[in-house]
Structure 1
């Protein structure tokens, strides 16, 4: 079963959003990378939460929050999602340790798909 592994808050003024979440909720937010400010919680503790971040919202998702769902295969999941009425808004992208894609479900809800990269020999 695929699980929710993160969240992404999209904003057209991410610096302002970062300050809001720091001040109101006490979030520790790292310096940006690719216009994405990571938020890290202490995973595995009693105070744990899911990791995520604040980003400069793209044209296809300028404002709002998307969950990120970890899947075994983004390619297979995208095919199945489209067969079930979803629209792919960002094809599979490659990062150092994972792949990421974005889609909109048949009801208009945006979400991300994440697939961990396989490490050679594992």
Structure 2
């Protein structure tokens, strides 16, 4: 099987109490937590990989998940499924990216993201 190039570009913390999680990470690590937007709060880690905090749905694993940038989301989803991953959120189309959520064969949640060609919209690395 052809290997899919993938880079970790972010993280998400899913919690049933996102306000409490945001307060914890802001107070302990000094992370800058953005205002909620559609139930999602951006997290800036001051030099590290940035991410977000949200209230996770009941049918998706809670905790932390990494976001992996891929060049071809459809190919990456297919390759992951062939290796035992399960898609829990089909490909979603946003203005600047496409995103899908999967659970790997050992139960870890991952997000696969394909950014648009507009380099200004990519997270800083």
TM range (shorter): 0.7 to 0.9
- Counterpart mapping for 1:1-122 below 5 A: 1-42=5-46, 48-61=47-60, 63-119=62-118
In structure 2, stretches of 5+ residues that fail to align are 119-125
Deviation at 1:62, TM superposition (A): 5.1
Deviation at 1:14, TM superposition (A): 0.5
Deviation at 1:85, TM superposition (A): 0.9
* TM superposition score normalised by structure 2: 0.86
SS at match of 1:77: helix
Count of residues paired in the alignment: 114
* TM superposition score normalised by structure 1: 0.88
In structure 1, stretches of 5+ residues that fail to align are 43-47
Instruction: Encode CA deviations 1:47-74: one digit per residue, 9 max, x unaligned.
Output: x111101011112225200000000111
Deviation at 1:107, TM superposition (A): 1.2
How far, CA to CA, are the matches of 2:45 and 2:94 in structure 1?
21
